[in-house]
Amino acid sequence: MQKEKFLYIVATPIGNLGDMTFRAVETLKNVDVILCEDTRETLKLLKHFGFEKHLVSVHQHSSDEKVQALLSQYDNVAYASDAGTPGISDPGNKVVEAAVKIGFRVIPIPGACAVVAALSASGLPTDKFLFLGFLPHKGRTAVFEKIKNADTTVCFYESTHRILKTLEQLKAVVAPERKMVVCRELTKMFEDIVRGSINEVAEKVQLENRGEFVVIVGEKQTRAK
């Protein structure tokens, strides 16, 4: 009988290293190799927890064949992205897809995830939500129209470079009094959670717009005040 092979999908902190789980550390210590999005980021993490491991980078442009060939060399592999839960808007899903094709058993090691952390602190309904990942560069008006008509909470990721433009576009398309929460630098020293109407939040975020963001918009009936 063929020996079972394992791929561990390991969540890592989104800023605060105290959010690394015991199980994540133990798993990374015990595998044969760690595949990661960026070896420099994962190396910092391993240094903090005081151990070394062979690291190999797998990124968005790595071919399926390359990932399969890499995985085939080992019996126990972990994958860690730069931050958070692999596969949520990062190359983690690519590694899982390749691993499943060649018969690996995939085991999630859960932990921090920016969108889940943001939703949990938002105060907006989370029994149902629509997660849009990063908004596309093209065809954004159609996406804002979708948010305008959404009957669930909507959330997405945004970068420093585009946050102000995105908030301006949201204001232009979606009712400016609609409820909104913007979470910046979650779990880090300058964590900031701004709540209010789209108008109010856009104004406040303009004053401090550096860092990483999760944007959450209430469903179409919500109004701030």
Beta carbon of residue 186, minimum distance to ligand SAM (angstroms, whole number): 3
213 binds ligand SAM (CB under 6 A): yes
Nearer to ligand SAM, 73 or 159 (CB): 159
Which member of 7, 9, 10, 14 binds ligand SAM (CB under 6 A)? 14
Which member of 214, 217, 218, 219 binds ligand SAM (CB under 6 A)? 214
Distance CA 9, CA 71 (A): 13
Which member of 7, 34, 80, 85 binds ligand SAM (CB under 6 A)? 85
Provide CB contacts within 8 A for 129, sequence distance 6+: 119, 152, 153, 154, 155
Distance CA 26, CA 24 (A): 6
Which member of 183, 194, 201, 202 binds ligand SAM (CB under 6 A)? 183
93 binds ligand SAM (CB under 6 A): no
38 binds ligand SAM (CB under 6 A): no
88 binds ligand SAM (CB under 6 A): yes
122 binds ligand SAM (CB under 6 A): no
Binding site for ligand SAM (CB under 6 A): 14-15, 81, 83-85, 88-90, 113-115, 157-159, 183, 185-188, 212-214
